[in-house]
Structure 1
Amino acid sequence: MTGFVELRDVRLTYGGKADGTLALDGLSMSVKKGEFAAVVGPSGCGKSTLMKLATGLINPQSGTVEVANKEVSGPVSIAGMAFQNPSMLPWRTTLENVMLPLEIVQPHRSRLKSEKKAYIEKAESLLELVGLKGFGDKFPWQLSGGMQQRANLCRALVHDPALLMLDEPFGALDAFTREELWQVMRDLHGEKQFTVVLVTHDLREAVYLADRVFVMSARPGKMINERHVEFARPRPIDLTYEAAFNDIVHELRGQIADARAAA
């Protein structure tokens, strides 16, 4: 059985095959439906490129990319995406920013006008779920960085994506806010059970959130290891200070250090 997200022997070069930069070479990865997967590796190894491939923003030169048993040849409508920069539109309120995908993604786009009340209620309920009840009428400049990132997660989820792709979504936040949002993400995944692929440099983040952590080599990137994380869910934040947790973090750090040294 193939995974919900499946990359097989993927090769991708930026800038032309002859004199370009080989970003990925022989990369394979399989993520099960409902699984929370994290991808870590040395800087520049192709983690963000992997995300673009899985969402159909770019296509590989060779190999195959499948999502939900369909080969990816263009943007994947069942995917939601959140990045390190929330990129909130400054002229729209928080609620209007959250609802933006509903204006773009079918079938919601066709239904938005006739079912607007129900969609607004859905967006407001997501805002409440992440602790932003009552902030829907505020503009981005009236929110802290952490609050904007909470709204960004709501925007990524408002159209009920089966797949959520996260590219360093908490990397620009302070440590305390980051841990708060880890717990928000933990609870959202626990409730919605969507499939998640998280790209991160933060090994604690990867181990806390993921069911499996995939380790990439230095560029050209490929998978060199995967680590199952077997702590019971829901995971308390205090887990991140326990010896067994930090043993996994140090194990992953060692693998990445070895990958960098081998480059």
Structure 2
Amino acid sequence: MKPFVDIHDVTHVYARAEDGVPAVQNLTIRINEGEFAAIVGPSGCGKSTLMKLATGLQFPREGTVIVDGKEVGAPVKLAGMAFQNPTMLPWRTTVDNILLPLEIVEPHRSRLRKHKAEYVAKAEGLLEQVGLKGQGHKYPWQLSGGMQQRASLCRALIHEPKLLMLDEPFGALDSFTREELWCVMRDLHAARKVTIILVTHDLREAAFLADRVFCMSARPGHIVAEREVTFPRPRDLEITYTPEFSELVHELRGHIAQARKAA
């Protein structure tokens, strides 16, 4: 199977890095279309750099980055992104925040004004999918942190991306809300079959959501372990309390601990 995201033998050094140490070095990772992949590793290992390389926000010093069969040489328009901070614009309603990418990405940018009602209906449909039916008229300050993060997921999906990049999207939430959003993300992936790359420090999150978990070394980052998650889908939260799940999380923790010792 031809990978949808193919990062091959990539080394990247940030211009501002005073020590000249690469953020990632000889990084190779291949993710298939429709797959849910999770990237874990010690702090500063290059997980966010991997995201930037895959979306064309950074370009490697060495190696190649190919997405959907094309080498990345500009920001990737087929990608959607969600971050730990939802960064909703406070003067815009929730629906208008969700529509924001459409003001930038073609062909939606050219169609938005004329077909606004169609796009608003689409945004409202996404809000219903994530449990926010009827909340589109509210402003961000009227929503809880968990509700804002749900809206942020809608914004990342509004232009129907083929690749969804999630950078610690649930890290700032309480554990109960975080687990609720795991289920939202599980259901969105099942419904849309979008390729997802999740960067997270939460090993339980990675094990619950992903098809494969990739463990990165300490800086300069590269993949030191790859683990297929074989629990059948759809997964219920109850699985996270089973011995098999705990064993997987413990195994992943061991890889991270080893990576930190090798630093």
Aligned length in residues: 263
Whole-Å separation in 2 of the counterparts to 1:132 and 1:177: 14
Q: Which runs of 4+ in 1 moved over 6 A?
A: none
Question: SS at 1:87's partner residue?
Answer: coil
Deviation at 1:22, TM superposition (A): 1.4
Task: Map 1:21-100; keep pairs closer than 5 Å.
Answer: 21-100=21-100
Deviation at 1:78, TM superposition (A): 0.2
- State the match for 2:241 in structure 1: 241
Letter in 2 for 1:254: G
TM-score, with structure 2 as normaliser: 0.98
Whole-Å separation in 2 of the counterparts to 1:233 and 1:100: 33
Deviation at 1:14, TM superposition (A): 1.6
- State the match for 2:227 in structure 1: 227
Whole-Å separation in 2 of the counterparts to 1:74 and 1:6: 16
Task: Map 1:76-225; keep pairs closer than 5 Å.
Answer: 76-225=76-225
Task: Map 1:7-18; keep pairs closer than 5 Å.
Answer: 7-15=7-15
- Give structure 2 stretches of 5+ with no counterpart: none
C-alpha RMSD of the superposition: 1.1
Question: 1:12-67: CA deviations, max 9, x gaps?
Answer: 11236894231110000000000000000011000000000000001000000010
Cα pair distance change 1:17/1:239, threshold 3 Å: closer
Letter in 1 for 2:60: P
Whole-Å separation in 2 of the counterparts to 1:118 and 1:192: 19
Question: SS at 2:22's partner residue?
Answer: strand
TM-score, with structure 1 as normaliser: 0.98
Letter in 1 for 2:217: S
- Give structure 1 stretches of 5+ with no counterpart: none
Whole-Å separation in 2 of the counterparts to 1:254 and 1:103: 45
Whole-Å separation in 1 of the counterparts to 2:155 and 2:255: 34
Question: SS at 2:131's partner residue?
Answer: coil
Deviation at 1:95, TM superposition (A): 0.4
Give yes or no for contact 1:15–1:21 (8 Å, CA) kept in 2: no
Deviation at 1:116, TM superposition (A): 1.3
Question: 1:93-135: CA deviations, max 9, x gaps?
Answer: 0000001011110011111122111111100000011011111
Whole-Å separation in 2 of the counterparts to 1:202 and 1:59: 27
Whole-Å separation in 2 of the counterparts to 1:133 and 1:239: 28
- State the match for 2:3 in structure 1: 3
Deviation at 1:2, TM superposition (A): 3.3
Deviation at 1:251, TM superposition (A): 0.1
Whole-Å separation in 2 of the counterparts to 1:115 and 1:206: 38
